[in-house]
Amino acid sequence: MAAVAVTAAALAPAVAGGAHKGAATLRRWSAATARPAGRRAAIVCQQQPERRGSTLAARAAAAEVVAAVPFPTPALEPFAAELQAAGGQQERSRLLLGYARRLPAYPEAARTDAHRVMGCTAQVWVSAELDAAGKVRFAADSDSELTRGLAALLVEGLSGLTPDEVLQVDPACLGQLGLGPAVLTRSRANGFLNMLESMKKRARMLAGDLPRFPSLLITAEGTAAQGAFAEAQNKFLRPDPAVVDALVAQLQAKQIGVVAHFYMDPEVQGVLSSAAERWPHINISDSLVMADGAVKMAEAGCKAIAVLGVDFMSENVRAILDEAGYKDVAVYRMAAESIGCSLAEAAESPAYESYLAEAGATPTSLHVVYINTSLKTKALAHQQVPTITCTSSNVVQTVLTAFAEVPDVHVWYGPDTYMGRNLAQLFQSLAQLSDEEVRELHPAHTQASIRSLLPRLRYFDQGTCIVHHLFGGEVCELVKEGYRDAYLTAHFEVPGEMFSLAMEAKRQRGMGVVGSTQNILDFIAANFFMTQNILDFIAAKLTAALEAPYPDRLQFVLGTESGMITSIVRKVQGMLHAAGRSDVSVEIVFPVSPEAITTDKQAGAAQTELPSGLSVVPGPAGGEGCSLEGGCASCPYMKMNSLAALTTVCERVGTPGEALLEAFKPRPYTELVGGKTMAQAGCVPILHMRGFQKGGQLPADLVAVYERRSLDAMLGGPSGLGLANNAMKALCLLSGAGEGACLAEEVAAAGVEDRYFKMTTQAGKLVQAFPMRNGARPTSDGSIGSYSLTRPNLQRTLYAALPPGTVTCDASFRSCALREDGRVEVTLALSDGTGSRAGGTGAAAGAVDGAAAEGAGTAEERVEICDLLVGADGIRSRVRTCLEERHGIEARHPQYSGYAYIRGLVDLSLWPGGVAGWQKQWAGTHLVYGTCGAGIVTPDTLCFGRYVPAPQGTFSPGLMPPAKAKDALEDLCHDYGPMRELSLMTEAPRVACGELWQLPSPKEVWGAGCVTLVGDAAHAMLPALGQGACQAIEDAVELAVTLHQAASAKAAAPTNGAASAQLSASELETALRRYEAVRGPHTAGVRNMAEATFKHAAGETWWARVKRECWFW
């Protein structure tokens, strides 16, 4: 992303926050080329872990054939004879390759997921049709030649049968072909049988034998289940009151909060939903909201949080609680062993590492990672390429906003293949709509912009959820045939076939929704009262149907995990009761494969042995609804979050048995990433998303600020400053951390308003005294107040306006180089263990008695490629030095002023009469007293300072030891009004000293290429006018405004057909030089005036006497 995408509200706080603090600010993106990756079929996870690995297993040696099973057609017999006569594995493989060559060419148009065979390692496609004689004619293909040979056996062996005959084919006959275990490996054997099962499914469709899906009918009076799967869901909708009572008693007594995912089993959801009516700290939601709910529970006093979900969900809860300051609130999972997630594991695979490497090498790349991944994935990804987290609820807006703000960006979505594919399909559909229709979804886009982004949207193609994976083509064909008149819902994570059906229903008939679990809930609810904002083009149809005065029955096909049925039932029934409509009902259809529902006999049966040496493991029992070829709608990992597990955890909390729950805690991350713990680093992309959700723009953290000191060093030290009205006016242009607040108001709240100013000579003679303008917002005449505050309070306020994690501390700038493509290569050194992050309201607030120092620890070198580098690293700027040495800008060296300073903070409660006594005696909040100055910087703290002539080297910068500080204050301030009294008020005054330096004004510009400077790095000046921080803030705002204006002008240009606001490197460089041309003369004038104040020039004017006798503090 280019710097132009940074708004004034984003850039200025980041730059101003580091203007005097040794910070180097840069717009960070990584870089390279995309390459298409191959696709894999996902493996179905079984319900029996002791046998997991495969449903069909091939033995190492062929089993003895006990009884011959006849081939379904004579066509297989010649193949069997050839294979059985073959001399060994190589000969059998050669024969299979020959069969593959005989297979007729497969139509390219048929190579779709609808025809793909699930459960095969290779890609396999199967289709079928009836000929004039009513016989089935199969076609197949594979991207593996050996698998293609196996497909050829089935095509030639089964074609010519009637549909009923195909359904009667015994899989055992395949074992008599003589393939042998060396050819028919475990994975290939599974795929071979899956091909047969797929052919049977196709024959059933051709025969018109389309089974109805199980469903649950919801009325105001209750629920009625149809089918075994639905009965299993319905069973726990009305939980045992005694079980609910027991759970509520434990939760209340021990102050335990519960956060659970929508995908819990109905038994768990039923109990939790009932318990939530009596114990408010129970939340059933999507994964992201779980962490939010946990924070609210901790704020309300909960001592422990039980997380019912997979491991990455509990890790997120733990990390977000830590970020919010609730490290003492315990978090427990529901099992001692791992509660995995196939999708999260895909993001930790070597394939995903390669995918991220491509993203990191592609210019202007943004990685959008699904929330359903581990913190480790998020942390490591963000190290390679700027990363923002998304949910299924906000992924569309996140991606579209990225393309809108940075039209040339490459967006890399992962790891969920189906969601990525569905996003691409959604955008392809948008590209066919009018500009007005596109703007309904995102106001910054048009049909042309949608079309232009399609080639730059990438998605990972090897990551699937084992639950959503099974809403595949064949199940969707059943939906298409039997439920075309129903409302269709599809989660963004389901395969494209289900997504396409819902999209088609949504687009053509206004009867579909695609999105998150919450979107589906809202959609179902909206069909009654339109209480949620769904797309306008379906709102009118739904509203009209509900206003009809006749009974109705709405049917929804639930294209997502069945665990959310409890939430649906409760919401629908609540709305029916509120409306008083007993004549309206809702049927929820579960698109599962009916043949996957095993009988009691099958559930208890032993493993079936096939004559070929293949074994068949019985499917899950009692209506679980899982099959090899589509329709599993219950997550085996989520089933580990049982009611019994929750009860056990609650019973042990607060007892000696809690020690047994150590293994139930979320995985701790001890590795460091960029000087941060894995958990801290993993939170950054999540916080990016929160910043996007708050402001509707990509977060300012994509402007990375690197601070060479530790966070404690930045936020500590006895230092105060004044922000005159020019700085406050600039801050009024920026939004703060609070809703609707400007940054000036938040800065004002952190300091003290300067309501009265008093100036005297060193002898105490009054020179001038006057009241100050007040208020943190400009009045009608443009006036605004001035404020004094401590530097730590200013830093905290500025950082709070940034997303957490924006500032990386303990990071040193090494060098920069201008690349041929106009971008900037920056080399940094990061501390290995002391690095810390600042920004946001959760930023640490440290204070140490020590001078500013670079972070300790072994440095880790990092190279960043960015579009814009802003040096805000002080008077001895390494960025400026690098430009001088490498890129020919005018060399300017710091000049010693001949003065040193001594300053400190004093607790005014020690002054006689406190703050009121001070103000009464010295008539104001701000005092200049000769070469000394004092100002109230917090309601009970006063900052004082003195400038003294001193040879260079007299004062070593830093905090002074208490004894030395008291001696220095008594010596330097003994005859200057209240200063000596102030210095004696505390036994250990926090006093710092140092030397005053300045930079010569530049003759021309102070930057080069796409590099510029702000604050002391550009124009360090003496503090006589109190304008150092004020000018840095003005710099930051002017820079942001200049870039914004350049981008807006380009976007509005008539020749810019795509309405792109992306500045090229040359355009960005022109904007930077324009900024320097504006700020250079202005800051030179302020700098020269500050220098003149320090000179003892003769003259009879009032200002000459002020210059001789008074120093502005």
Query: Which are the catalytic amino acids?
Result: 120
The CA-atom distances, in angstroms, between 1084 and each of 111, 530, 1004, 1110 are 69, 61, 11, 22
Distance CA 248, CA 263 (A): 21
Distance CA 331, CA 487 (A): 39
Distance CA 26, CA 9 (A): 16
CA dihedral 970, 976, 980, 983 (to 10 degrees): -90
- Tokens 């002020």 locate to 1106
Determine if the peptide bond prior to 1081 is cis (ω within 30°): no
> Which residues, including other chains, have CB under 8 Å from residue 648's CB and lie 6 or more apart?
none
Distance CA 863, CA 673 (A): 15
CA dihedral 562, 682, 863, 347 (to 10 degrees): -30
Q: What are phi and psi of 604, to 5 degrees?
A: -95, 0
Distance CA 577, CA 529 (A): 13
DSSP at 947: E
Residue of 701, 682, 693, 1032 lying closest to 27 (CA atoms): 701
User: CB-hemisphere CA count at 13 Å for 277?
Assistant: 9
For residues 531 and 525, is the Cβ–Cβ distance under 8 A? yes
User: CB-hemisphere CA count at 13 Å for 394?
Assistant: 26
Distance CA 98, CA 101 (A): 5
Q: Is 914 left (phi over 0), alpha (psi -120 to 50) or beta?
A: left
The pair of structure tokens assigned to 693 is 């959700």
Distance CA 396, CA 518 (A): 15
For residues 1043 and 1010, is the Cβ–Cβ distance under 8 A? no
For residues 976 and 946, is the Cβ–Cβ distance under 8 A? yes
Residue of 370, 369, 401 lying closest to 382 (CA atoms): 369
Question: DSSP assignment of 1018-1066, as one string?
Answer: HH---GGGS-HHHHHHHHHHHHHHHHHHHHHHHHH-TT-TT---PPPHH
Q: In the 3-class helix/strand/coil scheme, how is 133-175 assigned residue by residue? A: CCCEEEEEEECCHHHHHHHHHHHHHHCCCCHHHHHCCCHHHHH
Q: Is the dihedral of CA 1050, 1053, 1056, 1057 positive or negative?
A: positive
* β-sheet bridge partners, residue 226: 215
Distance CA 853, CA 873 (A): 13
**How many Å from the N-terminal Cα to the C-terminal Cα in the chain?**
41
Q: What are phi and psi of 329, to 5 degrees?
A: -85, 120
For residues 299 and 348, is the Cβ–Cβ distance under 8 A? no
DSSP, collapsed to helix, strand or coil, labels residue 576 as: helix
Distance CA 836, CA 857 (A): 13
| Beta strands 614-616; 608-609: pairing state | antiparallel
Cα of 331 vs its chain's centroid, Å: 22
**Number of residues assigned to the chain:** 1113
- Tokens 């091939």 locate to 58
Residue of 284, 294, 343 lying closest to 315 (CA atoms): 294
